[in-house]
Amino acid sequence: MSRKKIIAGNWKMNKTPSEAVELVNTLKPLVQNPDVDVVYCVPAIDIIPVKKALEGSNVHLGAENVYFEDKGAYTGEISPAMLKDAGVEYVIIGHSERRQYFAETDQTVNKKLLKLLENGFRPIVCCGETLEQREAGITMDWIRMQIKIAFHGVSAEEAKGVVIAYEPIWAIGTGKTATAAQAEEVCRGIRETIADLYGTDTAEAVRIQYGGSMNAGNCKELLAQPDIDGGLIGGAALKPDFGTIVNYNK
């Protein structure tokens, strides 16, 4: 079964609204590839201007976070309905930076995943191990636990539409990419975990991205792996290099 590749930019806390529009316009001619779903996950305040700037383009709009309640007294948070109304399709949840700096846990990721699915979004669920965990030989145990908690209460049909991003924490923003073999090994393990939970049909449908210092130079080899269905791109998503990654197969 062939899964369509998905290349998503995670802009993190970069680009003011006017800079964001400028970046969309710069990248516009570079990111056209009918074989790939292209997504920009942008800061909340950039969502509305980016949506407008993307009019008529092939790029899908994403957010970097969401809250798991519908509305109410949660100062500073953004609800699923707000994102929906602004035209967002994809939402990243559980990024390691949110876990590290903003107390995101596997349990809140699970609540967010259920809420996003209830509201018809395409979630991008992040997981990944620290260097200490890798060196201790518990990478796959850790990732299996993250996935099992995140997907608790999610149906097989819903799970098919979820994107999972495997991002080893030691590779994020460090310039130190996992080798294609290391990335493939964990992405295959994630697919096996989904198969254990839901069966092979679901596991074959789920798209699994690699993230962590993916760039124009290393994307081809990573994206050639059988269980790597795309990339979640930080630093390189803010540069014309992103176009090279999107067109990795040309």
Interface with ligand PGA includes 167 (CB under 6 A)?
Answer: yes
Which of 20, 219 has the CB closer to ligand PGA?
219
Q: Which of 29, 120, 153, 173 binds ligand PGA (CB under 6 A)?
A: 173
Return d(Cα 102, Cα 45) in angstroms, integer: 18
Interface with ligand PGA includes 213 (CB under 6 A)?
Answer: yes
Is 132 considered catalytic here? no
Q: Which of 83, 208, 219, 233 binds ligand PGA (CB under 6 A)?
A: 233
Smallest distance, ligand PGA to C-beta of residue 6, A = 13
In 10 A of CB 132, how many CB atoms? 10
Q: Which of 80, 128, 230, 235 binds ligand PGA (CB under 6 A)?
A: 235
Residues recorded for the chain: 250
Return d(Cα 113, Cα 150) in angstroms, integer: 7
DSSP secondary structure, 153-209, as one string: T--HHHHHT-EEEE--GGGTTTS-PPPHHHHHHHHHHHHHHHHHHH-HHHHHH-EEE
User: Which residue stretch of 49-57, 79-87, 138-146, 226-234 sits at the interface with ligand PGA (rule: CB under 6 A)?
Assistant: 226-234
Return d(Cα 247, Cα 36) in angstroms, integer: 8
Catalytic residues: 95, 167
Binding site for ligand PGA (CB under 6 A): 10, 167, 172-173, 211-214, 232-236
